[in-house]
Each structure stands twice: as C-alpha cells, then as structure tokens.
Amino acid sequence: MVTKAQILDHAEVVDKNGDFVGVVDHFESEDQIKLVKKAPNAEGSHHLIPLAWVTNVDDNKVILSKTLQEVEQEWKAV
C-alpha cells in the first residue's frame, strides 16, 4: 500500500497504461490528492483523486490503478 509520505508535491501522475493524468499539487486531506489545474486535461480546475487509486510510486511518478478515461469520469473538480 502506498502511503502519503511517498507522494511528493509536483510529482507526475499517470494512469495504469502510463498515460499522463496530471501533476500533484498537494494533499487536500489524508486520503485526497489535489492535482494542479494547469494540466492539459484539467480544463482550468483543480481535481481530487483518492489515495486509494495509487498503486505505486516509481521515481517520483505516481501510478494509478485506473485508465485515464476512468479517472476523468470519476475525479472531482474543485
């Protein structure tokens, strides 16, 4: 299980296929990661993703258990 301490601000976030999802802004809460709003697919809004979606952190790259399409359907704009 990945812990909050393993995820650094400004780390790249990718889906399970390695496709770019966004960049970590910071943790919004103990289990919610806020992504920067300047990512190409963010449409000018911050988005929250749950820590539970993270399967691994490799070389400061956060890897999710979902595809980009699943993430975009389920993340929360804030």
Record the pTM: 0.94
Mean pLDDT (whole number) for 38-50? 90
CA distance 57 to 6: 7
Looking at residue 55, its pLDDT comes to 98
DSSP secondary structure letters along the chain:
---GGG--TT-EEE-TTS-EEEEEEEEEETTEEEEPTTSTTSTTS-EEEEGGGEEEEETTEEEESS-HHHHHHH-EE-
- Please name each of the domains of the chain with its CATH number: 4-77 (2.30.30.240)
Band of pLDDT at residue 38, cut at 50, 70 and 90: confident
Whether residue 5 is predicted with pLDDT greater than 90 in this model: the reply is yes
